[in-house]
Amino acid sequence: MQSDVDIVRLTYPSASGGVQAYVARPTFAQPWPAMIVIQEVFGLDDHIEDLARRFAREGYLALAPDLYCHDSVRATLSIEDIESALAAGRGDVEANIRQLPADRQERVRRAIDWRNNRNTSTYVPDLEAAVAYLKGRSDVRSEAVGCIGYCMGGGLSGQLATSGAEVAAAVINYGAPPPANDIPKVRCAVQGHYGGLDTGITSRIPDFEAAMKGAGKDFTAYVYEGAQHAFFNDMRPSYHPEASKLTWERTLDFLQRHLKLAAVGTR
């Protein structure tokens, strides 16, 4: 494992007009397998950039797209605004907002409106464009491009796999399962990690697992007892060190088998 990585910020082509991205590259001999690291609802923040560097140290070129780079409303909101919007959404929204300082209330209302009404239609196409971009790079092994996502990005990792994209491995971290009708289009092995206390998502995984098995797809799900949603994020109160450590070990083993050692194929 290397101790240093190279960092580049770039824009790759897409139908939406180009997507800004954070790229972390190993410093040893290329070409490398590649990972698309997909953001949480908060966006391309310090946590996601740190994960990109962690993957680079493990020998992957890691590309983290900024899926909000064309979202003018999101640009006016802070991560604190989005955190407060998420918290206010649990229970009586207006009552929760009225408990906030007066100068915060309108910002939180705007964040709630943004979250409920934002245009999400570009997210998967922009991720598909990331796959194409990585496959076209001379320093990437074109048969060894994978994806991983967290929270919202976990759901998008599953959606990317079920879009029929030519990814060789997909990892879902506490993301909502993709539409069952799209499962036949999966072309890669999929691994999922879920918190036992995150019942809103984890309760849906048995049906997803059964649908994947019924379609003959390779899917392994892990549920971590005592872990909440976003248990892998070491910058948030939900962080669960034991579950996070085991998730990382299982993820690296999965990627070793399906990216570093195996060529892409239909499963």
**pLDDT for position 29:** 87
**pLDDT for position 265:** 40
The verdict on 37 and 164 lying in the same domain is yes
Across-strand partners of 223? Answer: 194
- The string of pLDDT tens digits covering residues 108-153 is 999 999 999 999 999 999 999 999 999 999 999 999 999 999 999 9
Which CATH number belongs to the domain containing residue 132 in this structure?
A: 3.40.50.1820
The verdict on 142 and 194 lying in the same domain is yes
The verdict on 159 and 104 lying in the same domain is no
| Conformation bin of residue 113: beta by default, left when phi > 0, alpha when psi is -120 to 50 | alpha
Query: What's the domain range around 109?
Result: 74-117
* Residue 43 DSSP label: B
Q: Is residue 267 part of a domain?
A: no
The verdict on 150 and 219 lying in the same domain is yes
- The string of pLDDT tens digits covering residues 188-204 is 999 999 999 999 999 99
The verdict on 46 and 133 lying in the same domain is yes
- Give the containing element (helix H, strand E) for 59: none
pLDDT band, residue 89 (cuts 50/70/90) = confident
The verdict on 113 and 128 lying in the same domain is no
Q: Is residue 225 part of a domain?
A: yes
Q: Which of 57, 89, 117 marks a domain boundary?
A: 117
- The string of pLDDT tens digits covering residues 209-243 is 999 999 999 999 999 999 999 999 999 999 999 99
State the total domains in the chain: 2
The verdict on 92 and 206 lying in the same domain is no
pLDDT band, residue 176 (cuts 50/70/90) = very high
pLDDT at residue 185 is higher than 90: yes
- Helix extents (H) in the chain: 46-57, 79-88, 93-98, 102-117, 123-135, 152-162, 199-202, 205-214, 241-255
pLDDT at residue 264 is higher than 50: no
**pLDDT for position 90:** 87
The verdict on 178 and 244 lying in the same domain is yes
CA dist., res. 58 & res. 212, Å (int): 29
Q: Is residue 266 part of a domain?
A: no
CA dist., res. 95 & res. 239, Å (int): 28
CA dist., res. 68 & res. 41, Å (int): 10
Burial 110-132 (b: 16+ CB within 10 A, else e): ebbebbeeeeeebbbebbbbbbe
The verdict on 97 and 148 lying in the same domain is no
